[in-house]
Amino acid sequence: MTWTRIVLLTTLSVTLALPAGAQEPRRFTRTPYLSGPDDPERGQVRGTIQLGETVVIEIPGGFDSILEPGVVPELSERRHSRRGGPFEIEGVKPGDWLAIHIIDAQPGPYGYYNNGGPFRGSLRRVAPIKDGMLHFPPDFVVPVRPMVGIVQVAPRINHPGGAWNHGGNLDLNSVQAGSTVYIRAQRYKGLLTIGDTHAYQGDGELTGTGVEIDMTVTIKVERGPDFPNGGVVVETAEKWYATGVAADWETALKIAWTEAVALVEHLYDTNAEHANRIVGTIGDALPGYAAGKLNTRGFPNDRAYVTLQIGIPKSLKRTGRPFEP
């Protein structure tokens, strides 16, 4: 049997609704397209973005691998292409809050996922997309739900267990077109990177992959309001989210809970007691990446982690007077 090799070389495009007379946003194209070793420019500054500027960034999906049906990812050679960054943000200094608006996210025509169980051992499968539908064999389809797994600034220092509070590989489904990610810069010019784009990813990213795919993402970077949080805050049309990253679910939940209490205090001008009651009762705790040590088959791994978010609905309001029967 002969397998067809599919290489993701398609340049993606996105059509933006621009005001009359407005210029097309700058576009950072994905070059070079890899057919062999790693991108020699990986990790180098990809460009400078002005505050308030809208830009379009082409982002490679997954490890930019050649897609072959039946490939075992652990046995295939991983290539590392230039990600969506890092970008210098002009005028940003450590401590400044950035607001990264995800304006649009358009996936390419083909991606892949891992067809694996709870200890991975997975086979890679091609995932085609046509007319906005994601196809699984033999005949399953589902509408795409594009999301961005990595939104991060450069960390000030690297901790033994990995840097935190700078964003990173959070894999939160709240980070989609229409959402805003708030991150506190840790270095001058921020050094913003986005990547790990998925056409669809279930909450938890159970096999360690969603549908990894090339994506064209349109963003606008502005100064954000000050938050009392250490970690990332995400805003959607319906909710505010606080985030937690840790070596295990319980610890990540404690971190996200603490962050959510601080966020509710700030947004609703209340105290910790009242905010904690709100978070503990109506907060939605959702996993981002939940597999943790599963992908190392339970063996010790000092870099294993999980991520989660706690969502608070924007429908929560204050009336200005206590309840009266």
Give the DSSP letter string of 236-259.
-SSEEEEEEEESSHHHHHHHHHHH
Single pTM value for the model: 0.89
pLDDT greater than 60 at residue 228 = yes
Can you read off the two tokens belonging to residue 279? Answer: 């978070």
Per DSSP (E only), the strands in the chain are: 26-28, 47-49, 54-59, 84-89, 97-117, 120-130, 133-136, 140-143, 147-152, 167-169, 180-184, 192-198, 212-223, 233-235, 239-246, 284-287, 306-313
So what's the pLDDT on residue 118? 65
d(CA 245, CA 250): 10
d(CA 307, CA 177): 20
So what's the pLDDT on residue 15? 41
Mean pLDDT, the chain, rounded, equals: 86
pLDDT greater than 60 at residue 12 = no
d(CA 203, CA 174): 10
Which tens digit of pLDDT belongs to each residue from 273-304? 999 999 999 999 999 999 888 767 677 777 88
